[in-house]
């Protein structure tokens, strides 16, 4: 991966965000949120490049583990949405491979790898500017109809 990030060069399409919500990860109305933006690849995988500030550190100079999990959860939820599924996280497993520096750009990637009825199984990873994988995740999401609240 090279930076600066160029969505056009990678043939990425912005993933629209319709709601003005307070989601910590992607909600534009959340004043302390991460304000993540996402792009879809031609195969419906998701990419986001972000620089997370030091206000979300754990150890000095590095992101808090909970923020790392949030980043992975967010990009996986968008991988579900890119395939037309609205779902909630039921199980999230994170492998923290290397410390992730704050205030440096990182790349989030996710794809939906399997569907079994209402069960969605995405995977994700976080990479640094050199392409080194810093963290990975797998998850189980459960699809639901927000108009029926059948969760």
Show which residues are catalytic.
Answer: 73
What are 110-148's pLDDT values in tens digits?
A: 999 999 999 999 999 999 999 999 999 999 999 988 777
Residue 59 placed within a domain: yes
Q: Give the total number of structural domains in the chain.
A: 1
Residue 91 placed within a domain: yes
Inter-CA distances, 138 with 112, 113, 134, Å: 10, 10, 14
Which range, of 15-24, 47-56, 62-71, 101-110, averages the lowest pLDDT?
15-24
Residue 1 predicted with pLDDT over 50: no
Tell me the pLDDT band of 10, cut-offs 50, 70 and 90.
Answer: confident
Residue 150 predicted with pLDDT over 80: no
pTM given for the model:
0.91
Q: What CATH number did the domain enclosing 42 receive?
A: 3.10.129.10
Residue 1 placed within a domain: no
Per-residue pLDDT at 35: 80
Residue 25 placed within a domain: yes
Residue 4 predicted with pLDDT over 90: no
Residue 149 placed within a domain: no
What are 12-41's pLDDT values in tens digits?
A: 998 887 666 788 888 888 888 888 999 999
CA distance 106 to 89: 23
Six token digits for residue 138: 């797998």
Q: Residue 89 belongs to what domain range?
A: 13-143
């Amino acid at each position: 991966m090279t930076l600066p990030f160029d969505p056009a060069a990678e043939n990425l399409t912005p993933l629209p965000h319709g709601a003005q919500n307070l989601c910590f990860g992607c909600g534009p109305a959340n004043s302390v949120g991460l304000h993540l933006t996402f792009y879809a690849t031609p195969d419906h995988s998701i990419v986001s490049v972000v620089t997370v500030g030091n206000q979300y550190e754990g150890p000095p100079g590095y992101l808090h583990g909970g923020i790392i999990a949030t980043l992975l959860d967010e990009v996986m939820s968008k991988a579900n949405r890119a395939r037309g599924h609205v779902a909630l996280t039921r199980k999230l497993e994170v492998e923290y491979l290397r410390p992730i520096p704050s205030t440096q750009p990182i790349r989030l990637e996710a794809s939906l790898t399997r569907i079994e009825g209402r069960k969605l199984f995405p995977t994700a990873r976080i990479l640094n500017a050199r392409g080194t994988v810093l963290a990975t995740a797998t998850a189980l999401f459960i699809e639901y109809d927000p108009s029926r609240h059948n969760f």
